[in-house]
Structure 1
Amino acid sequence: MRRVLILGGTAEARDLAARLADVPGLRVVSSLAGRVADPRLPAGEVRIGGFGGPAGLAAWLRDQRIDRVVDATHPFAERMSASAADASRLTGVPLLALRRPGWVEEDGDDWRRVPSLVAAVAALPDGARAFLTTGRRSIPMFAARTGVWFLARSVDPPEGPVPSNVRVLLSRGPYTLDGERALIREHRLDVLVTKDSGGALTRPKLTAARQARIPVVMIDRPPVPGGVETAGDAATAARWAQG
């Protein structure tokens, strides 16, 4: 019996779990961080919650006799990816990072690439009405930016009180182009702030921004930890997981 751990929470992780769920001689466990109140569950066995850092993950891999690990977390889950790389080195369990390709700028786009959330806050002009799609945890950082109004979209509500310059929109993708156009128009948004997450589920906001001729502050994704093999799609990762 080969044992595979999928560090999940993304559409690619669910795709991978579905591909491996019924493979004879394979036990697949998908692990979710538990940060979303009502997560979309993948096929097969699921565990929810953290491991307690690299040492805790390494101990779990040994205890469960895991043969391979696929890090299919969000491209911006930097801490979890680092823990997976450290645990792989501690245990010798092979690790693959499944990362969907980032978005590519098209004709008519006006992207301003920045390296971090802090740089994205600084890139916003005074008086802007910003469409913020960087996750609920980043909302307080942007809300502290005076002179800017935010429509902040997230799956779950932010913790604590919401400042007067922020309106929170609770919503889960996939999103439609018509819907994104309507948000830009109705809220008179003049800049989009997003992470370079890639994928099709949330790409319509980029098309809507291009059509509305508003700029996009695009936050570059962090690099995959050094020495970790990568795959760009679930089919490739499934072949790797099966050896």
Structure 2
Amino acid sequence: MEEVKLLGTWPSPFSYRVIWALKLKGVDYQYIEEDLSNKSDSLLQYNPVYKKIPVLVHGGKPISESTVILEYIEEVWPQHSLLPTDPYEKAHAKPGFPVSFLAAKKTSKSTASAFYSLFTATGEEQDKHLKEAKELLKIIEEQGLGKRKFFNGDSIGLTDIVFGWIAGWLNILTEVGGVKLLEPGSFPTLQAWIGNFKEHAVIKENLPDHDGMLAFYKRVREKMIASPIQ
């Protein structure tokens, strides 16, 4: 059996996407924690252009970019499929689809920017991103989830994994940023999905510690506000 390694960093949601997929598939792998302030020779060797995590190394061959890695995992380890059987549903459940779908529906900047700016921005700028984030969550709830338990139906699939950061990270980022996004009664279908996703045995056992993340992102926010990028 060819060796599987994952180069990642805590608490990156992109690393956790790959961890969840490998765990759901039952694939044995070696996890290597990277210090992005002092990148290892292995990371520079396996991802010499972008020098970013995550990187999956399978049989000595590296694959980078989390959505590409997810598709690779689904193809190489077809057991416990993370895609629907229906061809149309399968096309819409590919990991690249939710990203491109939301990009087409975006209100101003990139999808990631709309949410991340709740954490990094202040004042009127933050208010603008809060409105944009709510519009994007509405799209996810109404046109992505519909009435399903998971995006994939009754079981977790690749789209759920791609959006998993909403379940594990969004409340942390908004709490640190001092804004209210997922208030009680808002986005009921999405909030039900968050509960279902986080209570799944594999996900529950492989989520970063809440208090640790809170402390980490508070430090990051303080640093960014003290030294804003020009």
TM-score scaled by structure 2? 0.31
Q: Which has the higher helix share?
A: 2
- Determine which structure has more spread, i.e. the larger CA radius of gyration: 1
Q: Which has the higher contact order (CA 8 A, sep 6+)?
A: 1
TM-score scaled by structure 1? 0.30
Q: Which has the higher strand share?
A: 1
